[in-house]
Structure 1
Amino acid sequence: MKIYTKTGDKGQTSIIGGEKVMKCSDRVVAYGTIDELNSYVGVIISQMKSSPDMKKDLVEIQQILFDCGTDMATPNSSKGYRTDAASTTWLEECVDKYLASPPLLKEFILPGGDPIAAQLHMARTIARRAERLVVATAMEEEINEEVLKFLNRLSDYFFAAARLINFREGRSDVSYRRNSQVFYN
């Protein structure tokens, strides 16, 4: 089986339903960035040597990200969407569970610490970029709004996961030096 089709040689691709769009369209750039994020999560998982609970959650996130990408490649709801509110609710539960261990934050912190935590912070920024691209698509076309909600919560998840990894590995958060108290718990 050949995996190349040559149909994209002129800068077009087919989305679900057969419509041809330019590869630089907001929709294609959005689901391409979701795919990039999914791949980066795979890199993180491949390097994790501890935290099997988080590793399991990250694999589930990969599954949901694949659904998000499929939904973004679907131009209207008549074809049926895959991402639902339950995915976001589950992610919120993970965030709450992860934030129960590290000390409460009162100010901004710098991304970094343990190598896995640093990669989770990088995933957070990719999730934010994907979210912005989904918003750009939603301004022009119909999308599954659950994808936008999930991506918004996903950046929070990666932040909480990075903090938990640093906490588990005995790494302290590094405060931004020009901080003032910004979080009031």
Structure 2
Amino acid sequence: MVVLNKIYTRTGDKGETALGNGDRVAKHDLRVEAYGTSDELNCFVGVARLEAKGETDAALSRIQNDLFDLGADLCRPDMETDADAEYPPLRLAAEQVDRLEREIDVMNADLSPLRSFILPGGTALAAHLHVCRTVARRAERLAVHLADRDSINPATVKYLNRLSDWFFVAARVSNNGGKDDVLWVPGANR
């Protein structure tokens, strides 16, 4: 259970923050950038939910919770010491990636194959989901960069990769099953 009695602590006033294991790092540390971008993505998902209904809203709610799991995972370095930790760190699980894949398959089943790239837009929900897709890709790039430098849970990269695909397919579904997708016309304005 998380208990926040005081919101400001002044411990970050000199440009540092604490990781999940208590280590202090610069606020621009790559690990902080990675989990901070997943938090930014979570905010954009919250905005998308303003337009979502039914199962799409429920799926976005699950994704928001997963993104907090992902942030908790990324903020805790030293996976090899997990067994020795006083409190077992929360790690993203392969089942969360598998769920996204199942949901993508269900959403994609009734969509026509693409014959062009899609421009972000269409319905308000689709536009918001495209923003989520691009922020998820940025979070993924940061997580991959972090993985090159430090050990991280491989499920975090897989999840972010699948999540951007999920947002893409969900945007198509929100555009009247792809019928109202805004298609790119190469060289249209030459």
TM-score (normalised: structure 2): 0.88
- Map of 1:182 onto structure 2: none
Asked if 1:28 is matched to 2:32, the reply is yes
Structure-1 residue corresponding to 2:23? 19
Equivalent runs, 1:7-156 vs 2, <5 Å: 7-48=11-52, 50=53, 52-77=54-79, 78-79=81-82, 80-156=89-165
Distance 1:143 1:134 in 2: 8
Alignment-derived partner of residue 180 in structure 2: 172
Q: CA deviation at 1:166?
A: 0.4
Give the C-alpha shift of residue 81 in structure 1: 4.1
- Following TM superposition, the consecutive aligned residue runs of length 4 or more in structure 1 with deviations greater than 6 angstroms are none
> Would the aligned equivalents of 1:113 and 1:171 in 2 still touch at CA under 8 Å?
no
In structure 1, runs of 5+ residues without a counterpart are 180-185
* Residue 2 (structure 1) shift: 2.1
Deviation sequence 1:6-28 (CA, Å, 0-9, x none): 00000001101110000000000
Q: What RMSD in Å do the two structures reach over aligned CA positions?
A: 1.5
Q: Is the 8 A contact 1:81 1:144 kept in 2?
A: no
Matched length: 176
Q: List per-residue Cα deviations over 1:13-51 (Å, max 9, x = no partner).
A: 110111000000000011000000011111111232x3x
Q: 2:10 is paired with a residue of what secondary structure?
A: coil
- Structure 1 residue aligned with 2:10, among 6, 9, 34? 6
Tell me the distance in 2 between the aligned counterparts of 1:171 and 1:41: 23
Can you list the C-alpha shifts for 1:85-132, whole angstroms capped at 9, x where unaligned? 111110011111111222221221111100110000010000000001
TM-score (normalizing by structure 1): 0.90
5+ residue gaps, structure 2: 83-88
Distance 1:4 1:125 in 2: 31
In structure 1, what residue type is equivalent to 2:181? Answer: D
Bigger CA drift: 140-149 or 103-112? Answer: 103-112
